[in-house]
Amino acid sequence: MFNLETKATVFSAVAVSISPCEIVPASPSSAPKIEVGEVQINPDIRLRQMVYRPAHSKGSVLFLHGFPETMYAWKAIAESLSCEYEVHAFDWPGYGQSSRPDVDRFSYAPKDYAQVLQAYIRTSGIDSSKLVIYATDIGALPALLAALERPDIARKIIVGDFAPFDRPQYMYESLQGLKSKPSSDAVRAAMNRNRDEILANTFFRGMSEEERYPLSQAFRDDMAKGWGGDLTSADAFFHYYSCFTRDQEYFETNVANLKVPVKVVWGEQDIYIKKEMGIEYANRSGAELSILPKLGHFPHLQAPEQTVNEVRAAFSAGQHPSAA
């Protein structure tokens, strides 16, 4: 996704193609409440979280970001949904303002992120029978791994633009390089050296000037601020990939055991993880599949209204069988 060459304030909209929730409340207390803070999920990990709480909720949505994002990737979408749904997002360990434990205490592997996800849902008191999870990129495999352990983790999971199986041929060259040594060390060093280039161009690589979509400066600054310290976001990404093949193989072996309804949503023009990966996963698992025309690896940023519609449709589709 790149060339080899504290408390946060609430940011302005990431994209401008959807409008925030419009409410004319009877009183100020009936408007959605916005909380940006921290939650301790275990002795080693504190997560920065963003929660929108409406006066009357039809259910909960939990958004899981990818690389190199933070929870603020979901802000415009959260605002649009917050009239009707309780909306959650958090920074993964190693990203944004969440904890960065030493690798000997937390490996940053997809299976470890799956445990973080389960702990967040439990600690936040979210009713899983009324929960939709929307996960992209590095957030998607952990969501599915968690669902293997907890078949009642959500009423539906929406995933996209990720790598459920070990298929390097579907992946961008530099991502292939992260899957094994010694190339992974070189890629890691290049990522840390080229942070500014990655944050400036990852979202638009391969696009014409006319195809680029707006990202707020505040969102860019938040990603840059979180990419620091002794363990950077690039380091977390590197460690995720060091265990990636193992966890992909585990998931592929067990994919038939997944009970939670899953929908796969993929950008047709994704250059980082080709749509063929999503097609194979949907065919193997029997999941519903939507290929989004003219969109790339970040559909939630490029066309956030599409994500809003997917979430609304997930709540309209009926109850998870395990909750019936």
**Which CA distances in Å does 180 have to 183, 185, 241?**
6, 9, 8
Q: Using CA atoms, how far apart are residues 91 and 63, in angstroms rounded to an integer? A: 10
Sorted by where each begins, the domain ranges of the chain are 28-317
Which spans in 150-269 are helix H?
A: 173-177, 183-193, 195-201, 217-226, 233-242, 244-254
pLDDT value at position 31? 85
Contact 54, 83 (CB under 8 A): yes
> In 3-state terms, the chain is what percent helix, strand and coil (to 5)?
45, 15, 40
pLDDT value at position 18? 66
- Which residue in this structure is represented by tokens 């609430």? 10
pLDDT value at position 20? 65
CATH of 28-317, one of 3.30.70.1450, 3.40.50.720, 3.40.50.1820, 3.40.50.2000: 3.40.50.1820
Contact 140, 65 (CB under 8 A): no
- Which residue in this structure is represented by tokens 């890629």? 187
- Kindly give the parts of the chain with pLDDT less than 50: 2-17, 23-26, 320-324
pLDDT value at position 1? 58
pLDDT tens-digit map of 235-249:
999 999 999 999 999
Contact 52, 23 (CB under 8 A): no
Q: Using CA atoms, how far apart are residues 268 and 278, in angstroms rounded to an integer? A: 10
Which spans in the chain are helix H?
A: 75-81, 110-124, 140-149, 173-177, 183-193, 195-201, 217-226, 233-242, 244-254, 275-285, 299-302, 304-316
Q: Using CA atoms, how far apart are residues 13 and 96, in angstroms rounded to an integer? A: 17
Bridge partner list, 86 = 60
pTM: 0.92
pLDDT tens-digit map of 305-322:
999 999 999 999 865 444
pLDDT value at position 317? 80
Q: Using CA atoms, how far apart are residues 73 and 167, in angstroms rounded to an integer? A: 27
- Which pairing describes strands 262-267 and 131-136: parallel, antiparallel, or unpaired? unpaired
**Which CA distances in Å does 116 have to 131, 139, 206?**
16, 11, 33
Six-digit token string for 21: 């929730």
The one-letter amino acid code at 66 reads: G
